[in-house]
Amino acid sequence: MRRVELKDGADLDGFRRALRGLVALGVEPDEVDWNIGAAPSLFGDAAPLPADAPPVPLPRPVGALIESVVCHRDPERYALLHRLVRRVVRGERDMLDHHADPLVHRLALLDKAVRRDLHKMHAFLRFHEVRDPDGGERYLAWFEPDHFIVEATAPFFVERFESLVWTILTPVGSLQWDRRSLTIGPAALRPEGLDRDDRFAEGWQRYYESTFNPARVNPTAMRAEMPRKYWANLPEAAAIPAMIRSAPARVQAMIEAEAAVPRRRTPDKAVAAMARQEPATLAELNRIIRAAEPMISGPLVPGATQAVPGEGPVGAAIAIVGEQPGDREDVEGRPFVGPAGQLLTRALEEAGIARSAAYLTNAVKHFKFVARGKRRLHQSPTAGEVKHYRWWLMKELAFVRPRLVVTLGATAALALTGRSVSVLRERGPMGFGDWEGFVTVHPSHLLRLPAGEGAERAYRDFVSDLRRARGLVEGAG
Ligand code: URA
Average pLDDT of the chain, as a whole number: 84
Q: Smallest Cα–Cα separation from 407: which of 445, 362, 367, 368? A: 362
Are 213 and 294 a contacting pair, CB within 8 Å?
yes
CA 219 – CA 4 distance, rounded (Å)? 48
Residue 405 has pLDDT above 90, yes or no: yes
Question: pLDDT confidence of 50, banded at 50, 70, 90?
Answer: confident
CA 147 – CA 172 distance, rounded (Å)? 8
> Ligand 1 atom closest to Cα of 442?
3
Q: Which of 330, 362, 423 to mutate to test the pocket of ligand 1 (most atoms within 8 A of CB)?
A: 362
pLDDT at 261: 36
> CA torsion sign, 399 to 403 to 409 to 415?
positive
More confident position, 104 or 124: 104
139-183: pLDDT as tens digits: 889 999 999 999 999 998 888 888 888 899 999 999 999 888 999
Using alpha carbons only, give the angle 117, 123, 124 rounded to the nearest 5 degrees: 85
Are 81 and 15 a contacting pair, CB within 8 Å?
yes
Are 138 and 166 a contacting pair, CB within 8 Å?
yes
More confident position, 201 or 267: 201
> Ligand 1 atom closest to Cα of 335?
6
- Count the helices and strands in the chain (H runs, E runs): 18, 14
Residue 14 has pLDDT above 90, yes or no: yes
- The string over 444-458, giving b where at least 16 C-beta atoms fall within 10 Å of a residue's C-beta and e elsewhere, is bbbeeeeeeeeeeee
CA–centroid distance, residue 372 to ligand 1 (Å): 20
The ligand 1 site (C-beta within 6 Å) comprises 322-326, 329, 335-336, 338, 340-341, 362, 444
Q: Smallest Cα–Cα separation from 439: which of 422, 451, 427? A: 427
Q: Smallest Cα–Cα separation from 409: which of 442, 436, 433, 386? A: 442
Q: Which of 305, 328, 444, 447 to mutate to test the pocket of ligand 1 (most atoms within 8 A of CB)?
A: 444
> Ligand 1 atom closest to Cα of 444?
1
CA 157 – CA 163 distance, rounded (Å)? 11
CA–centroid distance, residue 326 to ligand 1 (Å): 6
CA 231 – CA 393 distance, rounded (Å)? 33
pLDDT at 404: 97
pLDDT at 387: 86
More confident position, 124 or 459: 459
3-state secondary structure 422-473: CHHHHCEEEEECCEEEEEECCHHHHHHCCCCHHHHHHHHHHHHHHHHHHHHH
Question: pLDDT confidence of 417, banded at 50, 70, 90?
Answer: very high
CATH number for the region 301-476 comes to 3.40.470.10
CA–centroid distance, residue 470 to ligand 1 (Å): 21
> Ligand 1 atom closest to Cα of 340?
8
Residue 451 has pLDDT above 90, yes or no: no
Domain boundaries, the chain: 2-117, 125-185, 199-259, 301-476
91-107: pLDDT as tens digits: 999 999 998 999 999 99
> Ligand 1 atom closest to Cα of 360?
6
Q: Which residues contact 283 (CB under 8 A, 6 or more apart)?
A: none
CA 179 – CA 354 distance, rounded (Å)? 63
Give the Cβ contact number of residue 18 at 10 Å: 22
CA 172 – CA 415 distance, rounded (Å)? 46
CA 300 – CA 326 distance, rounded (Å)? 13
More confident position, 279 or 343: 343
Are 340 and 418 a contacting pair, CB within 8 Å?
no
Q: Which of 45-59, 72-86, 122-136, 225-239 has the highest mean pLDDT?
A: 72-86
pLDDT at 263: 42
Structure letter (DSSP) for residue 163: T
Q: Smallest Cα–Cα separation from 144: which of 177, 160, 111, 120? A: 120
Cβ-based burial of 255 (10 A; exposed 0-12, middle 13-18, buried ≥19): middle
Q: Check: pTM over 0.75? Answer yes or no.
A: no
258-300: pLDDT as tens digits: 433 334 444 455 555 555 667 888 988 887 777 644 444 444 4
